[in-house]
A and B are shown apart, each in its own frame.
Chain A
Amino acid sequence: MSEARPWRTRPELPFLLFLSSALMAYLGLLVAMVAANVVSVSMADLAEVLEDPAILHSIRLTFLTCTATAILSVLIAVPIGYLMSRFRFPGRALVDTVLDIPILLPPLIVGLSLLILFNRMTPSALFLILGGLMCVCCVVWLFSGKIKPVGLFGIFIGIAVILLWAGLAGMARMGSIESFFSEKLGLPFTFQPLGVILAQLPVAAAFAIRTVRTTFDQINPRYEAVALTLGCNRGQAFSRVALPLAGRGILAAGTLAWARALGEFGPVLVFAGATRGRTEVLSTSVFLEINTGNLAGAAAISLLMIFLAVATLMAVRFFTQRSLHS
């Protein structure tokens, strides 16, 4: 029998050093950024900022618009997140990619696209585009060979036809989408406070959809399957079984959407503008303070935003961890 050779052991230190160096370098940068902000702001700067009526208006508008955006994002994210988590349909991969576009697009382009959509396009053109898109979906659906449920397919075609008809019927009428909303409905968007919400919505909703979808992915679909055998329809299985289980995940999605809306700058600046006392929110306040040479004021507002972001992040972590544990 040959003599057993000694086993070689290799040192762990270099790898652990590599991991901790990467962490320390990045963490160091983040902490240094926050620290630079903190040391450059005096209590007097903070007090001055908090006494400025324009900044106070900006804080109020920020809270209002972020909250409205977060609520709208959740209302959009829950059905879309559930649909993407539970259903397989033709073109699903394409839809998935489109849903992520607001996250990948440069923020300025989101604002510019909104500006063009509202001020260059007519409602009838929008109807024609939506109707055409639904027709393409119907054709893909038809060629997939699975026209089930038939009723839903019929409703889909019906809506597509109505949209196309509305688009064609309104072609003679001129006027932008913006003028339709402001003149017919009394809801102006471009360079108005409502526009802030619309500018914040695409990116905030995209993040909310991702969070809600992950939440539903983590819920065992067997719960809904059992509920179906006990007499629920799909809607009841969703509302009575899946939705209560997703509660904390949905709260996390809302909080994340709120935080995203808080930091939104490019789309807000392009679509809603940065008019003092009108469409100014905290992110645009920083921009305006820098433009007027008030670096201390900009740093004080930044500090306020950092505090809000950290608080939001902690809330998201609380909700998501509790959601996973439950």
Chain B
Amino acid sequence: MLSIRQLHVRAGDFRLENLSLEIARGECVALMGSSGSGKTTLMEAVCGLRQAESGGIFLDGREITGLAPGARRIGYLPQDIALFPSVTVAEQIGFGPGLHGWKVSEKRDRVEELAEALGVSKLLGRKPQGLSGGEARRVALGRALALRPSLLCLDEALTGLDEELHAEILSVIRKMIARENVTVLHITHSSAEAGAIADRVLRMEDLIRAPSALAGNC
């Protein structure tokens, strides 16, 4: 489970103060809020990309507040997908396992297994320039899940997709969440998307105003 306790984060002149949040293991929580309310700042703090000034972040009972991003066991899928431009699909998905010293056969098996589940097996040799928007999101999801993370952070990962593709990728994400049994924190602006994917929907404003009232409240 993910537990955020009285977190204070600063991003330039913007501050997130006294923020608390609990997400049960295997739960999918959609986080909504107006633009500039600090959703991405919070997610970056959880992923370790932004230092917390005070407070604590705990994942599966382990404090991760001061850990390096790569030691937190968190998969991250940003809004702009950010597939590495000069790297093939197979190398994208195998990037994390390669860094963590997995055996070549283990890495290959994991890449093939994820590629099959995501429906990108035929694209393993391609580079991002040759992928459609939907394919790129599938690959980025595979890259984020390759290390079997405890928490998957999705930062508006479905923004900009047309209706048909949106529904398709949403179902892929739902399938992969169930398959990998991963806890999910999903930022979105769409209440329909939040309702379709999440077990619980939280609003950023409420999170800051009344943190104690939030746990298990949706």
Q: Which residues of A contact B (CB under 8 A)?
A: 148, 220, 222-223, 225-233, 236, 241, 244-245, 326
The interface residues of chain B lying within 8 Å CB-to-CB of A223 are 82, 84-85
Which of B69, B75, B100 is A228 in contact with, Cβ under 8 Å?
B69
Contacts of A228 in B (CB 8 A): 48-49, 68-70
In contact, B68 and A222 (Cβ under 8 angstroms): no
Task: Give chain A residues whose Cβ lies under 8 Å from the Cβ of B146.
Answer: 230
Q: Is the Cβ of B70 less than 8 Å from the Cβ of A231?
A: yes
Nearest B residue (CB) for A225: B49
CB distance from B96 to the nearest CB of A (A): 4
Selected contact of A231 from candidates B82, B84, B99, CB within 8 Å: B99
Asked whether any CB of chain A lies closer than 8 Å to the CB of B121, the reply is no
| B51 / chain A contacts, CB cutoff of 8 Å | 148
Further pairs besides A225-B82, A231-B70: 9, Cβ < 8 Å? A222-B80, A225-B47, A225-B69, A225-B76, A229-B74, A230-B70, A230-B143, A231-B147, A233-B70
Chain A residues near B70 (CB, 8 Å)? Answer: 228-233
**Hey, which chain A residues are within 8 Å of B58, CB to CB?**
none
Known: A229-B49, A230-B95, A231-B147. A326 touches B78 (CB 8 A): no
- Asked if B212 is at the interface (CB within 8 A of a chain A CB), the reply is no
B66-98, CB < 8 A from A:
68-72, 74-76, 78, 80, 82, 84-86, 95-96
A-B residue pairs in contact (CB < 8 Å), sample of 6: A223-B84, A225-B78, A226-B78, A227-B84, A231-B99, A233-B68
Please give the residue numbers on chain B whose beta carbons come within 8 Å of chain A beta carbons, in ascending order.
44, 47-49, 51, 68-72, 74-76, 78, 80, 82, 84-86, 95-96, 99-100, 143-144, 146-147
Residues of B within 8 Å of A326, CB to CB, are: 85
Q: Give Cα A228 to B84, complex, Å.
A: 13
What are the residues of chain B within 8 A of A226 when measuring CB–CB?
76, 78, 82, 84, 143
A-B residue pairs, 3 tightest by C-beta: A231-B70, A231-B99, A230-B96
A244 to B71 CA separation, bound complex (whole angstroms): 24
Number of A-B contacts (CB under 8 A): 61
Q: Chain B contacts of A148 at CB under 8 A?
A: 51
Smallest CB separation, A325 vs chain B (Å): 11
For the complex, give the distance between the alpha carbons of A275 and B68 in Å.
Answer: 57
| Most chain B CB within a 10 A radius of its CB, from A220, A226, A241, A326 | A226
Q: Which of B85, B86, B95, B144 contacts A227 (CB 8 A)?
A: B95
Q: Cβ of B47 and Cβ of A229 under 8 Å apart?
A: yes
Q: A223-B82, A223-B84 are in contact. Are A231 and B100 (CB under 8 A)?
A: yes
B82 near A222 with CB under 8 A, answer yes
Across-interface contacts of A236 in B (CB, < 8 A) = 99
When distances are taken between beta carbons in the complex, the residues of chain B under 8 Å from A227 are 84, 95
A222 to B85, CA, bound (A): 12
**CA separation between A269 and B48, bound complex, in Å?**
53
User: Chain A contacts of B99 at CB under 8 A?
Assistant: 230-232, 236
CB A235 to nearest CB in B, in angstroms, measures: 12
Q: Which of A148, A229, A241 has the most CB of B within 10 A?
A: A229
User: Measured between alpha carbons, how far is A182 from B177 in the docked complex, in Å?
Assistant: 68
Alpha-carbon gap, A241 to B81, bound state (A): 15
The smallest beta-carbon distance between B81 and chain A, in angstroms, is 9
CB-defined contacts of B100 to chain A, threshold 8 Å: 231
The smallest C-beta distance from B22 to any residue of chain A, in angstroms, reads 22
B86 in contact with A245 (CB, 8 Å): yes
Chain A contacts of B147 at CB under 8 A?
Answer: 230-231
Bound-complex Cα distance A103 to B78 (A): 39
Q: How far is the CB of A149 from chain B (nearest CB, A)?
A: 10
Contacts of B47 in A (CB 8 A): 225, 229
Chain A CB within 10 Å — which of B44, B69, B78 has the most?
B69
Which of A222, A231, A241 is within 8 Å of B78, CB to CB? A222
Give the Cβ gap from B196 to chain A, nearest Cβ, in Å.
Answer: 25
- Contact check, B96 vs A231: say whether CB atoms are below 8 A apart: yes
* Complex-state Cα separation, A326 to B49, whole angstroms: 26
For B49, give the chain A residue with the smallest CB separation. Answer: A225
Chain A neighbourhood of B69, CB < 8 A? 225, 228-229
CB proximity of B151 to chain A, nearest CB, Å: 11
The distance in angstroms between the C-alpha atoms of A225 and B40, with both chains bound, is 13
Q: What residues of A have a CB within 8 angstroms of the CB of B78 in the complex?
A: 222, 225-226
Tell me which residues across on chain B come within 8 A of A229, comparing CB atoms: 47-49, 69-70, 72, 74-76, 144
Chain B nearest Cβ from A282, distance in angstroms: 38
- Residue on B with the closest CB to A223? B82
Cβ B74 vs Cβ A245 within 8 A: no
B residues in contact with A222, CB < 8 Å: 78, 80, 82
Q: Which residues of A contact B84 (CB under 8 A)?
A: 223, 226-227, 241
* Contact (Cβ within 8 A) B95 A244: no
Within 8 Å by CB of A245, from B72, B75, B85, lies: B85
B116 to chain A, nearest CB (A): 21
Pick from A241, A245, A326 the residue with the most CB of B within 10 Å: A241
B68 to nearest A CB, angstroms? 7
* Smallest CB separation, A243 vs chain B (Å): 11
